[in-house]
Amino acid sequence: MTRDVVRALERALGRERVIASAEELIAFEYDATIERGQPQAVVFPDSTEQVSAAVKVAHRYDVPVIPRGAGTGLSGGAVAAVGGVVVALTRMKRVLEVDAVNRLAVVEPGVVNLDLSRAVSPFGLYYAPDPSSQRACTIGGNVAENAGGPHCLALGTTTNHVLGCELVLADGTIAQIGGRSRDVAGYDLTGAFVGSEGTLAIATTITVRLSRLPESTRTLLAIFDTVDDASNAVSSIIASGFVPAALEMMDRNIIRAVEPMLHCGYPLDAEAVLLIEVDGLEESTAEQAEAVAAICRANAARELRLAVEEADRALLWSGRKASISALGHLFPNYYVLDGVVPRTRLPAVLRQTYEIAERYGFAVANVFHAGDGNLHPNLLFDEREPGVTARVLEAGAEIMRACVAAGGSITGEHGVGLEKRDFLSWIFGEDDLRAMAGLKAAFGAGEQYNPCKAFPTHHGCGEVTQAQVQRAAAAVGADLYV
């Protein structure tokens, strides 16, 4: 069957757009998680019509389709859990239109996030969602996962910046949802599609909303001797009624990984730093920066540093953008988590994170979007140690359960994917899950598109077991949410 599928794909797209040898497929077995899965073939379309042709072949042979962007995802969303055809969209990388007057752009899914902002900057515009991987991640992947980023605190995540999409459905049909403005009649299908993790359709063109570059931007580095003080400063800043453009936290292990490599000015003896940015009119940013600094001082910040010039600001941000990849200087492997908690619960949940990691025998490094309570604990390990990967998954599940018990959620921006699909019952009841399954059926996707992702495990999917989930819940001593 595999050989028949490959030959049909080659006839539909051309042999130069299809790979199927074991050696070539190795690079497509994984994304940025610790999950693995080998597809039967990978195709590289360069048009909507070619995507449609590939999907029609897969549909005819009843083979799963796995959409893939740059492979930077952090929940296993681009992993071929049960084989199938990976549709790699990286050759579809054109900015098709820039409408500066109406502040929108039409792009293909393989456009790199940062390249879009560079393309529209001559018009005084930029694309607001800015994941830490923005130098590599693609707009199509961002749409699939509803990606966030440091500057989404004030401006919202990807879903707030997508106006419409051209889609290829599971039978190869080409459809259009949304439009060129936020006021489109009918159901908000664009809102339903963004964040669907490749389980509903493949976006082949995307219309995005652009923002005007701020007149003035100031970046502060607030340095603290305890994580609790930094966490309390976060709550105090938001409680004051002021929402900065960005409000990020990094703990001592992140600082220890980043500073020797980039020399961006993070004190090695600090327990935590906050990276805070304000922007707007020139007349207001100085006043806003001082108000934020005063709140940090009231919460025991030992030092504050202000960067106004672009080069100084870029240096401070370089550490945050490279923080997770820099962990490779400390350990061979790291497992990135993604939970959300109310800002007032940050100190308590962070303490739990450190306690859980210590109990399982792992170091943990925390870097996260503190302003909206979106935590990213990174469990550091060496996968060559026998049995360590299973322990990492169990520790991660327990940390996620602690986030839920605090009134939070299992994901803020990385998606559910493979790794957290069995956790949905912690926050959704059976009626909720049935409603979601009904939406999936309405798109005609079934298990054709990205199987084993985003929904509780069924037979044959992945390695995260209900036993692991139950052990994690029992360790926290709380009943599952329904």
Look at residues 59, 88, 117 and tell me which one is the last residue of a structural domain: 88
Please tell me the distance from the alpha carbon of residue 203 to that of residue 151, in angstroms, as a whole number: 24
pLDDT digits (tens, 9 = 90+) for 359-374: 999 999 999 999 999 9
Please tell me the distance from the alpha carbon of residue 163 to that of residue 193, in angstroms, as a whole number: 11
Backbone angles phi, psi at 279, to 5 degrees: -145, 170
In this predicted structure, the answer to whether residue 181 has a pLDDT above a threshold of 90 is no
Provide the token pair at 69.
């962007």
Query: Domain range for residue 292?
Result: 216-320
In this predicted structure, the answer to whether residue 457 has a pLDDT above a threshold of 90 is no
Beta strand 211-212 pairing with 246-251: unpaired
Please tell me the distance from the alpha carbon of residue 203 to that of residue 119, in angstroms, as a whole number: 21
Residue 76 included in any domain: yes
Residue 464 included in any domain: yes
Residue 482 included in any domain: no
Shared-domain flag, residues 78 and 45: yes
HSE-up (13 A, CA, CB side) for residue 346 = 28
Shared-domain flag, residues 450 and 342: yes
pLDDT digits (tens, 9 = 90+) for 272-301: 999 999 999 988 999 999 999 999 999 999
Look at residues 320, 349, 365 and tell me which one is the last residue of a structural domain: 320
Which of 109-113, 328-332, 413-417, 475-479 shows the highest mean pLDDT?
109-113
C-alpha closest to that of 158 among 374, 414, 376, 370: 414
CA angle 405, 155, 153 (to 5 degrees): 35
Shared-domain flag, residues 33 and 160: no
The number of distinct structural domains making up the chain is: 4
Shared-domain flag, residues 342 and 469: yes
Shared-domain flag, residues 249 and 306: yes
